[in-house]
Amino acid sequence: MASAKPGIYIIVNIINYKCYVGSSINVKNRIQAHIAALIRGNHNNKHLQRAYNKYGIDNFDLDVILYCHNDELIFREQEFIDKLQAFTKGYNNCPIANNTLGFKFTEEQKKKMSKSSKGQKAWNKGLHGIYSEKTRKLMGVNKLGKPAWNKGIPRTEEEKQKMSNNRKGGSSWNKGIKIYSHVGEIIAEANRNRIWKEETKQKMSKMRKGKKLSIQHCGAISEGLKGHKISEETKQKISNTLKHK
């Protein structure tokens, strides 16, 4: 018999993508207990039981989201309750993991969790296919129409400098990856219609100054411009730019 594994699990209604998120020191046994209680009709989560009675077991997907250490269970459960909106739009009765209504992590606990995570690789780094197709779709549905979590949050000069230092000397993430013609055309079309802020234009111009293009780069630009018609407005801009040099 396989040893018990602690982890986070999810119960997803594949009709409306509402879900229930939980954790257990023996995650597979806990999922089986949920199934048994729902079939008997005496599950302690009435909201989930009513949904089961309405839609049936075939329309629910029960999945292990991830395995983790015992001391990470509550932290990870809370992470997925928030990420998948399991309380606001799902079947969880409580917004806080482990049914501890009103519970908040103390600053000391937060610091301990942060300290224990430092130097460790992300739990999902290098892992592929850890979510079922239904769970991935659920995550996608819950992100629709939402701005990025960091949108509108200005970065400090210190953060900008750290990001700049981390990128120095490193190769581009897409270096050596072939972009097929239809993908390249989609990217080009998106950039053609893009309106740049004056501040962004100035930054881009400043970054390009003094940089010499390689023979290969010049050849690629020349090849790309073949057959391309330049508008009168663009011609005038080029002319004005050259006059100032």
7-143 CATH choice from 3.40.50.1000, 3.40.1440.10, 3.40.50.300, 1.10.3210.10 = 3.40.1440.10
Rounded to an integer, the average pLDDT of 130-155 is 60
Cα 41 → chain centroid: 36
61: tokens are 């997907």
Nearest by Cα to 69 from 110, 101, 116, 127: 116
- Give residue 11's pLDDT: 92
The Cα 22–Cα 80 span in angstroms is 9
Express each pLDDT in 51-108 by its tens digit. Answer: 999 999 889 988 888 888 888 888 889 888 988 889 988 999 888 886 444 445 567 7
Cα 144 → chain centroid: 12
Express each pLDDT in 145-184 by its tens digit. Answer: 556 556 666 778 888 888 787 777 766 656 665 555 555 6
**DSSP-derived 3-state class of residue 154:** coil
Helix-then-strand count for the chain, H and E: 10, 3
Higher pLDDT, 137 or 29: 29
Flag whether the pTM goes above 0.85: no
Structural domain spans, the chain: 7-143
pLDDT at residue 1 greater than cutoff 60: no
